[in-house]
C-alpha cells in the first residue's frame, strides 16, 4: 500500500522550494500526462471524450465536499458564480462581507449598484448579521493573510436571521475539511490547493437550486446538451448543471486526475501535514523575532514587513508571495520540513 509520502513523491518533483500554493498549486504528473494526451488527441483529429472528464471532476469534487454531484455546477471562475448569485438578489438587499476579502467574492455585489453591501472585520461577521441581511458572503480562508472565518458561528447567525450564506473555499478546499452542505452556496477555483489546471471552478447550490436564475446558461446547461445547440434551450438541466459554463475541456481533462489524487491522499491527512509545516514556520519566525499575522489553524502564514524579500527569495529558488508588504508562505502536500527550514534560513533575525 502506498503511503502519503510515496504517493506525493510519485506525482511532484519541483525544481525549487515552492511555497506559493495560495497563488497557484503545482500540477501532479498524472494531470500533466492526461492533458498532453488530450491535446494530442485533438491534434490527431481523434478528440478524446473530455465531457466525460467534466463529469468525473464534478463527481470527485462533490465527494470531497460531501454533497451529491447533482448540486455541483462547473465553470471557470469564482467571479462568474458570484455574479450569478448577485443577479438573483432583489434590489435593496443587504449583503454582508468581510473587509478586504478577495475581489472575485465581493465585487459582483458592488457592481450591481442597487444592493446594500456592508463590510465588517472578518472576526465580526457572525455578530454583524442582523434582521434584513439577505446574504453573507465570505471566504473560508483569507487570501491576503490566511485568517480562517468562523464558519460555524456565521452559519448559525445567518440561520437565526433568515440570511443565506455564500462561502468561497478557494484558499481552503484541498487542505481544510469542508462540508458544503452547511451553507447555501459554496464556490471555489481549483488551481490552488486542489492542484488542478487553471480554468476549473465549482459552485455548490442547494437541493432546490437556491432560486438562482441561470443567466449565463448556454447549450451546456441543457438537460440534453447536444439537443440544445440552436435557439433557446427548451429544457434546462434539472440539476445544478443548469448553471454550468461551457467548459474549458483541456483543463478538465487534467482536473479529474488532480481531484482523484486529493481523494486518494485524503483531505484530513493533507490538513495535518500542511498545518504541521505551518506551525514549524511560525515557531521559527518567533525565534527570529518576527510576529506572523494571527491565523490559528491555517496553512497560510503571513509575515508583516518581510514582503520585500520575495524577489530575492525567488532568485534563490524559494517561491513565496508579497501581499501588501507581507511575506505570504503557503504550505501544501508536496512541501517538507526541509522547505520550511530553507525559508527560515533566509529570514533575517
- Please say if the pLDDT value at position 16 is more than 90: yes
Q: Report pLDDT digits (tens) over 141-182.
A: 999 999 999 999 999 999 999 999 999 999 999 999 999 999
pLDDT score at 164: 98
| pLDDT for residue 324 | 85
State the Cα torsion 335-2-179-329 to the nearest 10°: 0
d(CA 279, CA 257): 30
Closest residue by Cα to residue 344 from 326, 322, 324, 327 = 327
Determine contact, residues 213/233, Cβ cutoff 8 Å: no
Determine the average pLDDT of the residues in 328-346: 98
pLDDT in tens, 224-277: 999 999 999 999 999 999 999 999 999 999 999 999 999 999 999 999 999 999
Tell me the CATH architecture of domain 41-264.
3-Layer(aba) Sandwich (3.40)
Fold equal for 4-27+266-345 and 41-264: no
CATH number of 4-27+266-345: 3.90.1150.10
Mean pLDDT, residues 91-98 taken together: 98
The x, y and z cell numbers of residue 301, run together, are 502564514
Q: Please give the radius of gyration of the chain, using alpha carbons only, rounded to the nearest integer.
A: 21
Tell me how far apart the alpha carbons of residues 309 and 311 are, in angstroms, rounded to a whole number: 6
| Cα of 47 vs its chain's centroid, Å | 29
Mean pLDDT computed over every residue of the chain? 97
- Cα distances (angstroms) measured from residue 325 to each of 11, 47, 144: 33, 46, 10
Query: What does residue 183 show for φ and ψ, rounded to 5 degrees?
Result: -135, 165
- The share of the chain scoring above pLDDT 70, in percent, equals 100
Query: By the 8 A CB rule, do 224 and 234 touch?
Result: no
Residue 28, C-beta contacts closer than 8 angstroms, at least 6 positions apart = 11, 12, 195, 257, 258, 261
Among 85, 44, 61, residue whose Cα is nearest residue 170: 61
Predicted pLDDT at 2: 78
Q: Give the mean model confidence (pLDDT) for residues 58-71.
A: 98
Residue 1 has pLDDT above 70, yes or no: no
Q: Where exactly are the structural domains of the chain?
A: 4-27+266-345, 41-264
pLDDT of residue 270: 98
DSSP state of 208: T
C-beta separation of 116 from 94 below 8 A: yes
40 in Cβ contact with 339 (< 8 Å): no
Q: Coil, helix or strand for 231?
A: coil
How far apart, in whole angstroms, are the C-alpha atoms of residue 192 and residue 286? 27
Amino acid at each position: 500500500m502506498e503511503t502519503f509520502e510515496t504517493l506525493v513523491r510519485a506525482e511532484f518533483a519541483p525544481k525549487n522550494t515552492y511555497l506559493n500554493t495560495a497563488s497557484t498549486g503545482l500540477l501532479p504528473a498524472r494531470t500533466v500526462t492526461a492533458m498532453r494526451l488530450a491535446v494530442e488527441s485533438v491534434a490527431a483529429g481523434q478528440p478524446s471524450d473530455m465531457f466525460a472528464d467534466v463529469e468525473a471532476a464534478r463527481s470527485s469534487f462533490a465527494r470531497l465536499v460531501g454533497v451529491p454531484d447533482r448540486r455541483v455546477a462547473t465553470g471557470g471562475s469564482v467571479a462568474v458564480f458570484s455574479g450569478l448569485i448577485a443577479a438573483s438578489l432583489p434590489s435593496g438587499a443587504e449583503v454582508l462581507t468581510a473587509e478586504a476579502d478577495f475581489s472575485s467574492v465581493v465585487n459582483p455585489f458592488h457592481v450591481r449598484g442597487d444592493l446594500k453591501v456592508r463590510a465588517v472585520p472578518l472576526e465580526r461577521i457572525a455578530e454583524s448579521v442582523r434582521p434584513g441581511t439577505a446574504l453573507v458572503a465570505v471566504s473560508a480562508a483569507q487570501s491576503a493573510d490566511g485568517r480562517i472565518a468562523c464558519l460555524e458561528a456565521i452559519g448559525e447567525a445567518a440561520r437565526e436571521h433568515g440570511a443565506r450564506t455564500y462561502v468561497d473555499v478557494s484558499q481552503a478546499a484541498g487542505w481544510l475539511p469542508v462540508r458544503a452542505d452547511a451553507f447555501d452556496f459554496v464556490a471555489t477555483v481549483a488551481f490552488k490547493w486542489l492542484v488542478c489546471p487553471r480554468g476549473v471552478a465549482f459552485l455548490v447550490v442547494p437541493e432546490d437550486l437556491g432560486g438562482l436564475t441561470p443567466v449565463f446558461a448556454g447549450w451546456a446547461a441543457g438537460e440534453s446538451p447536444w439537443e440544445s445547440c440552436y435557439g433557446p434551450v427548451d429544457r434546462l438541466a434539472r440539476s445544478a448543471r443548469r448553471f454550468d459554463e461551457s467548459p474549458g475541456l483541456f483543463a478538465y481533462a487534467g482536473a479529474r486526475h488532480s481531484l482523484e489524487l486529493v481523494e486518494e491522499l485524503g483531505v484530513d491527512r493533507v490538513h495535518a501535514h500542511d498545518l504541521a509545516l505551518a506551525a514549524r514556520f511560525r515557531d521559527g519566525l518567533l525565534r527570529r523575532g518576527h510576529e506572523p499575522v494571527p491565523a490559528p489553524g491555517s496553512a497560510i502564514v503571513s509575515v508583516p514587513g518581510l514582503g520585500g524579500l520575495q524577489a530575492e527569495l525567488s532568485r534563490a529558488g524559494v517561491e513565496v508571495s508579497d501581499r501588501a508588504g507581507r511575506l505570504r508562505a503557503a504550505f501544501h502536500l508536496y512541501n517538507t520540513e526541509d522547505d520550511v527550514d530553507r525559508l527560515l534560513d533566509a529570514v533575517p533575525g
